[in-house]
Amino acid sequence: MTDSPLIIPHKRLSDQALRGLIEEFVTRHGTDGGWEASLDVNVAMVMGQLDRGEAFVAYDEASQTANIVPKEKVSP
């Protein structure tokens, strides 16, 4: 068993599931993204990061939760 999260290709998620994950991420308390735009703009920004490979959807089996993580935090 591994301690590192499982990277899930975001294109494999349904549009509804991906949008829900991104919305939860951009509205999460304690997130200091400096994002003051509308929800739709913030969702589009994160979607762009996922599309460009600057961020990934990571699933943690231990906690059974998914998160969006920057490329730098994903170990090869």
> How do the pLDDT tens digits run along the chain, 76 residues long?
456 789 999 999 999 999 999 999 998 865 555 556 788 998 999 999 999 999 999 999 999 999 999 998 876 6
Output the CA torsion 11→15→16→17 (10° steps). 0
The answer to the question of residue 17 being in a domain is: yes
The answer to the question of residue 15 being in a domain is: yes
The answer to the question of residue 65 being in a domain is: yes
The answer to the question of residue 1 being in a domain is: no
Residue 55, beta-bridge partner list: 70
Q: What is the tally of structural domains in the chain? A: 1
Residue 57, beta-bridge partner list: 8, 68
pLDDT at residue number 38: 85
Rg (CA), the chain: 12
Structural domain that includes position 48: 6-73
pLDDT at residue number 5: 84
| CATH number of the domain enclosing 32 | 1.10.10.610
Half-sphere exposure of 15 (CA within 13 A, CB side): 1
